[in-house]
Copies of this chain bind each other. A is one copy, B any other.
Amino acid sequence: MTDDSEAPRLVEVGALSRALEDFARERDWTQFHSPKNLAMALTGEVGELVEIFQWMSAEESADAGLDPRTAQAVRDELADVLVYLVRLADRLGVDLDAAVRDKMKRNALRYPADQVRGSSSKRNAQRS
A126 touches B29 (CB 8 A): yes
Q: Verify B58–A50 contact, CB threshold 8 A.
A: no
Q: Say whether, besides A46-B42, A83-B100, A36 and B23 are in contact (CB < 8 Å).
A: no
**Interface bin, chain A:** 35 or more
- Chain B residues in 8 Å Cβ range of A32: 55, 119, 122
Instruction: Report chain B residues within 8 Å CB of A44.
Output: 47-48, 50-51, 54
Tell me the interface secondary structure of chain A in the complex: helix
Residue of B nearest to A60 (CB): B36
**Do the beta carbons of B53 and A117 come within 8 Å of each other?**
no
**Bound CA span A13–B97, Å:** 10
| Cβ B47 vs Cβ A50 within 8 A | yes
CA–CA, A9 and B82, complex, Å:
14
Bitwise, A35-70 to B at CB < 8 A (1) or not (0) is 111011111111111111111111111101110000
